[in-house]
Structure 1
């Protein structure tokens, strides 16, 4: 049975278990592949996928179609869960180091300002992404945030490779223009 994303969202919004079952059937393979690429461990990737779909079930009402497709939303949640898992693993590893052997890191004001500048830059890019068409935004998100190759994106989106390349080129050109305009606006 081929159910539309809109129908699945409707079922999810009404907390119908059938909605999450259909969503899982459709996107769990993609979710697992993405999680595995990030965490590089099969068991951890499975955990990430389960956590992501539980989160989707609980937060179905937060989905906004104007920010991307359901597939992109699912990938985004999986990607963030996988990164959270990596951060948790890195955090545990740091805590296992004996204090006398722990490296001493000097934090400086410039490090703080660099972090602030990076966050402002990320916010500008997120805002600029909203200027793209849904197809262009999905392509960029899968490539740059999901880590997919253009060939993989072509297969995931069921479009020719040339279409993916064209969308990427046009999206990057538009992003460059939007960001340059915003930069010029900020300097005026």
Structure 2
């Protein structure tokens, strides 16, 4: 289990953080995912996919469950704390923090499935085939959903902060 933790803890946390927009919730989800991995280890089959895909599917499903429960209880977070490298100048930290906050805010405004496809492909670094498998859709559907999600994210960012789109997102 320590090998699994060392191998997947960071990617589980990163995916959960970008799915929920809440660092504390992402930490809780990371712990919960490892409990589920332990409890469901007998269900893993390499025939159905890689361990990475299996772990990402558990993470994505746990995030979706938590977000649905949270929506019933309160509003979802709009911004996200950001850890900035100490090697970045103060001016760059402010710009980077604002850009990250705007991207995270825009990401949280996307529909759940669009947020998931972006989180899986960008933050969990899964291929389109792995993303499709995790989401139980075809590769073509995953690619189409990803394209829609990127367009929606760009449009939302253009509304929130046009400067970020001008400098960071290319068609």
- TM-score, length-scaled by structure 2: 0.48
Structure with higher Rg: it is: 1
Q: TM-score, with normalisation over the residues of structure 1?
A: 0.44
For CA contacts below 8 A with separation 6 or more, give which structure has more relative contact order.
2
